[in-house]
Structure 1
Amino acid sequence: MAACQPPKKEIDYPPTDLSKNYLIPKPVKVIPTKTAFGLSKNTVIYTSQDDEQFKNVGAFLANKIKTKTGLDINVNSINENNPIAQIIYINQSDSINLKTPESYQLYIKKDSIFLNAKTAAGAFRGIQTLRQLIPEASNDTLTDHPLWLIPSGKIFDEPKFEYRGIMLDVARHFFTIEEVKKFLDILSYYKYNTLHLHLSDDQGWRIEIKSWPKLTQIGGQTEVGGGIGGFYTQEDYKELVSYAAERHITIIPEIDMPGHTNAASLSYSFLNGNGKIIKPYTGTRVGFSTFATQKDTVYAFLDDVIGEIASISPGPYFHIGGDESHVTKKKDYINFVEKVEKIVQKHGKRMIGWDEIVEGNIDSTSIAQHWNTTANALKASENNSKVILSPAIKAYLDMKYDSLSKHGLDWAGFIPVDVAYKWNPETYVEGLPKESILGIEAPLWSETISNIGELEYLAFPRAIGYAELGWSSSKNLDWEDYKKRLANQVPFLQRMSVKYYPTKSVDWED
């Protein structure tokens, strides 16, 4: 292909230094070679032709290049009017140096960029790095057309944890499909691979269950503060799952139980186990509701619910909640968790639950999400179960930044941007082996927020730091270095119209 092109005039690029990038998450290894790749109208993208997903990654990159620069970059085809000057090749590789499914290698030269990855997920993570390396402004002095100069060199990168997630509570306040899609777009830029949706709680039920229609007809009509609520039809949910999958993000559904169940019991009274009359609930108190855990009909109901959601959730996990079930008798709680685990497994999924689930005799394939009790995380590890780290005092995105924060809660304390970043998940729980840690997740509960702007205020910039904690090698984590790179995220955040919290601990770039 290159041999058919006429000789190219050598361009004298100004010197660059790839090691002085502002990439987030920080890559494992960067080797600068001091020249540049000139992205221009004469650039084309080629991908491994025998993998449709690699082609999709190429098309995704071309679309994002156009959004940022205005350039129309061809993918796996030639524009007859523009001679090929530079090639970006996204290559499916079987290199033994690509140690994880999301590992990638970038080789940036003057006339070519090679991105090697074993999987499309790895390639997708690699193009996020490439997107961040494209400068905001073009250089219009070197040729007769604009060039966006990408520093040359090599980048070798892979994630520290296989699970890197955010949880979004759509039960306390409902968020629309378009709002969740925008959130997914931002998360994918920072190499997240999981979005955990909290789909039910006392205040609302947010997903259509065809065999139990009152869950949304009744339970989906309320939210905190008395709003109109809302819900996703199964087609809506499948649209979100597909949109996330295009960004190599897995959506994990959560139906919280046996507590946090007022909206479900309001819809079908036989589910109620607290002995009180059920009324619509729009407050923020927790721990007062429970399923009737001794009724066989409750488990038949859950079999239907879990089955319908599992059938439209291609990811490997189903989250059963399990936290703050204060009015459920302990022996009933244990029996409930063990029975529901079997229902989840029957439908081909692995159970995840908040760390209280380890009170039951859970299977080693089930996963405990540590949010509060250290002993529960250690007990899960002793059971050979994996642990997701979401410690409330470090990782809860709904905590206020400080006493002046417009939104958020403070029961776990304030979490300023630097506090959110300055902890090491690998060593945070004393005695928890690294091999027991599946990854980290930052939950965003929605009692105090009701629209995408308020969501963004709490999530960003803290979620950007959690992305780095989940991806980057612990030895590369340094607040002073990170806050300089964070300051340079402003152009992207502005382009995405993100209403982030402009903490004074960072010298933001204008």
Structure 2
Amino acid sequence: MKITSIIALFLLFNLNIFAKLICPVIPLPNQVEKNNNVFTLNYNTVLTVNNESLEQLANYLQKEIHVRYNKSIPITKKERYYNINLRLNKHKKKDVPIIGAYNLSVTEKEIVIESNNSEGIFNGIQTLLQLINSGKKTGNIVEIEGWEIVDTPLYQWRGFMLDESRHFFGTKKVKQILDWMAYYKLNKFHWHLTDQHGWRIDIKNYPKLSRIGGIGNYHDELAKAKYYTQQEILEIVNYAKDRFIEIIPEIDMPGHASAANKAYPEYSGGGSKSHPEYTFNPGKDSVYTYLTNILREVDVLFPSQKIHIGGDEVHYGNERWSDLVDVKQLMKREKLKDLKEVENYFFKRIADSLLRLDNKILAWDEVANADVPANETILFWWRHNRPEQLKIALARGMAIVMCPRYPMYFDYMQDSLQVYGPDYKKFTLNSVENVYKFSQDNYGIEIPKINNILGIQANLWTERIRTENRLDYMLFPRLAALAESAWTAKNNKDFISFSDRIKKDFILYEKNGIYYFNYQDRKKTGEPKY
């Protein structure tokens, strides 16, 4: 045998040993120590809490263990020999608790999850569910390996955006995605509900937005209207809240407005040949009343106090603005020298409306230059080829969510053998590994030690995604790679370890009917066309 082959076998053997010592959790906890204990989950196990505020979380854990593992664990006030304890610890007034951080200890006698905040307890529960999944199962018992875990998130914003304007997927699918986000400790669901191809949220003051604007999708402009009723919105928001996920709706403006303008053409600012009726008219006062009324209803439905107003790619369809009498009068009255200043005027007025609703202003990185209050704005940096937008936001002190197209656009190809989607040779290849290796330091931008980067987010646009199978294929397991990039410290990350830990989730995907991309065996799951 050649020496190189011997070395390769040696490395493989040692990597396998290393993998077995790694905690089988995604995202990988930041401080982990394995002990020699084994906790036996059996009919004697009980679940206890030290604070009444944790009873709902105890009920959640009880139900998840029952549904996932067919084990019925009673909640009691008296501890037994085998206890799962949820403990909310008090902190001193001077301390600032790290939201989401938790400690987890697995010994022979008990499992303890403790934190000084409920979100931390919930994250510890997700870690425990993964440890149970990896445990040795014999008959009616599960043997859970002993671990001492001290875990803290890298970022407070760990997000995923789903575009449902171009193709609509519905309540059941959104809830499934929220379940997996929770499992991976992702906590922000950015919901792109309006765009050119469909308006997907019912607005009672303007019913034609959903009834007419909801007609069509990216591939069929006459498809039956699909949208979420306000009751369905509230149901999904509450479902997410139970999983400590905040939902941020996006109502795109002043561009990407074709679906809205189909319903109420009197507010249109026109468009271009390739993007007809693409904008709202920034010169009409009635437009601001109309949009503010919409935002008021959206504010009632979403308690996050955050509404994303888009603000991107306005130049694709604002060529008619120069000819509109309303815009000409606006420019003269406000002394605006060009259409970019008209655009920024629009942002300022809408920002004022959001602030009166006590909402943060969320927008894509085109808004970095706009006259909006920096301390009330969260900027989403998506154009990795426009680093100056990130620099401007950093200099202004804006809060920032990093979601650069490379590697955070999940509609982009993830493998060189993939056939459908934006050509990776022209754009980028957003592989599982590239998502995993994301770092805010990868873009040649000097980021100060004290900065306002809240976190990271992946975006899934659905021009080329018509079916749930295609959606799953593009989302899983990149969602898991995203989670580890958002949670785990850079020096604790290891893609080989991740690739070993993700194998157990492949089995869970199959049980959940998720048509995932198996990047370790590409022939196992073929690429769906739609």
What TM-score results when the alignment is normalised by the length of structure 2? Answer: 0.85
Question: What RMSD in Å do the two structures reach over aligned CA positions?
Answer: 2.4
| Counterpart for residue 111 of structure 1 | 109
Q: Is the 8 A contact 1:408 1:449 kept in 2?
A: no
In 2, the alpha carbon distance for the partners of 1:117 and 1:455 equals 35
Structure 1 gaps, min length 5: 1-16, 278-284
- Please say if 1:480 is aligned against 2:496: yes
Q: Is the 8 A contact 2:103 2:114 kept in 1?
A: yes
Q: How far does the alpha carbon of each residue in 1:165-217 deviate from its partner, in whole angstroms, 9 at most, with x for none?
A: 00000100111111101111111100000100001001000101111111011
- One-letter amino acid of the structure 1 residue matched with residue 30 of structure 2: V
In 1, the alpha carbon distance for the partners of 2:497 and 2:199 equals 43
- One-letter amino acid of the structure 1 residue matched with residue 84 of structure 2: I
Q: Is the 8 A contact 1:174 1:229 kept in 2?
A: no
- Please say if 1:175 is aligned against 2:169: yes
- Please say if 1:20 is aligned against 2:42: no
**Mapping of 1:205-284 within 5 angstroms?**
205-226=199-220, 227-274=223-270
Q: How far does the alpha carbon of each residue in 1:101-142 deviate from its partner, in whole angstroms, 9 at most, with x for none?
A: 2110011111111111122211111111001101456544xx
| Counterpart for residue 299 of structure 1 | 288
In 1, the alpha carbon distance for the partners of 2:443 and 2:151 equals 24
Q: Evaluate the alpha carbon distance shift between residue 135 and residue 217 of structure 1 in structure 2; reply closer, same or farther with a 3 A threshold.
A: closer
The equivalent position to 2:118 in structure 1, one of 108, 117, 120, is: 120
The secondary structure found in structure 1 opposite 2:52 is coil
- One-letter amino acid of the structure 1 residue matched with residue 63 of structure 2: N
The equivalent position to 2:440 in structure 1, one of 425, 429, 448, is: 425
The secondary structure found in structure 2 opposite 1:439 is strand
The secondary structure found in structure 1 opposite 2:241 is helix
- Please say if 1:192 is aligned against 2:205: no
- Please say if 1:72 is aligned against 2:66: no
Q: Which stretch shows the higher mean deviation, 451-460 or 172-181?
A: 451-460
Q: How far does the alpha carbon of each residue in 1:256-278 deviate from its partner, in whole angstroms, 9 at most, with x for none?
A: 1111000011111111112679x
The equivalent position to 1:390 in structure 2, one of 363, 382, 403, is: 403
- One-letter amino acid of the structure 2 residue matched with residue 44 of structure 1: V
In 2, the alpha carbon distance for the partners of 1:102 and 1:313 equals 21
Q: Is the 8 A contact 2:134 2:504 kept in 1?
A: no
Using the TM superposition, give the Cα deviation of residue 351 of structure 1 relative to its aligned residue in structure 2, in angstroms. 0.8
Q: Is the 8 A contact 1:18 1:34 kept in 2?
A: no
Q: How far does the alpha carbon of each residue in 1:421-446 deviate from its partner, in whole angstroms, 9 at most, with x for none?
A: 22213554512335221110100001
Q: Which stretch shows the higher mean deviation, 229-238 or 96-105?
A: 96-105
Q: Which stretch shows the higher mean deviation, 317-326 or 449-458?
A: 449-458
Using the TM superposition, give the Cα deviation of residue 95 of structure 1 relative to its aligned residue in structure 2, in angstroms. 4.8
In 2, the alpha carbon distance for the partners of 1:98 and 1:484 equals 36
- One-letter amino acid of the structure 2 residue matched with residue 496 of structure 1: N
The equivalent position to 2:356 in structure 1, one of 346, 350, 354, is: 346
Q: Is the 8 A contact 2:24 2:134 kept in 1?
A: no
Task: Give aligned pairs, total.
Answer: 476
- Please say if 1:46 is aligned against 2:35: no
The secondary structure found in structure 2 opposite 1:89 is strand
Q: Evaluate the alpha carbon distance shift between residue 505 and residue 415 of structure 1 in structure 2; reply closer, same or farther with a 3 A threshold.
A: farther
| Counterpart for residue 378 of structure 2 | 367
In 2, the alpha carbon distance for the partners of 1:28 and 1:170 equals 34
| Counterpart for residue 409 of structure 1 | 422
In 2, the alpha carbon distance for the partners of 1:133 and 1:275 equals 54
Q: Evaluate the alpha carbon distance shift between residue 428 and residue 88 of structure 1 in structure 2; reply closer, same or farther with a 3 A threshold.
A: farther
Q: Which stretch shows the higher mean deviation, 406-415 or 30-39?
A: 406-415
In 2, the alpha carbon distance for the partners of 1:173 and 1:110 equals 50
Q: Evaluate the alpha carbon distance shift between residue 429 and residue 104 of structure 1 in structure 2; reply closer, same or farther with a 3 A threshold.
A: farther
- Please say if 1:332 is aligned against 2:342: yes
- One-letter amino acid of the structure 1 residue matched with residue 429 of structure 2: F
Q: From the two aligned structures, give the one with the greater helix fraction.
A: 2
In 2, the alpha carbon distance for the partners of 1:220 and 1:229 equals 5
Q: How far does the alpha carbon of each residue in 1:424-472 deviate from its partner, in whole angstroms, 9 at most, with x for none?
A: 1355451233522111010000111123222111011111101111111
In 2, the alpha carbon distance for the partners of 1:309 and 1:493 equals 33
- Please say if 1:323 is aligned against 2:312: yes
In 1, the alpha carbon distance for the partners of 2:276 and 2:520 equals 37
Using the TM superposition, give the Cα deviation of residue 229 of structure 1 relative to its aligned residue in structure 2, in angstroms. 4.1
Give the percent of matched residue pairs that are identical in Structure 1 and Structure 2.
Answer: 31
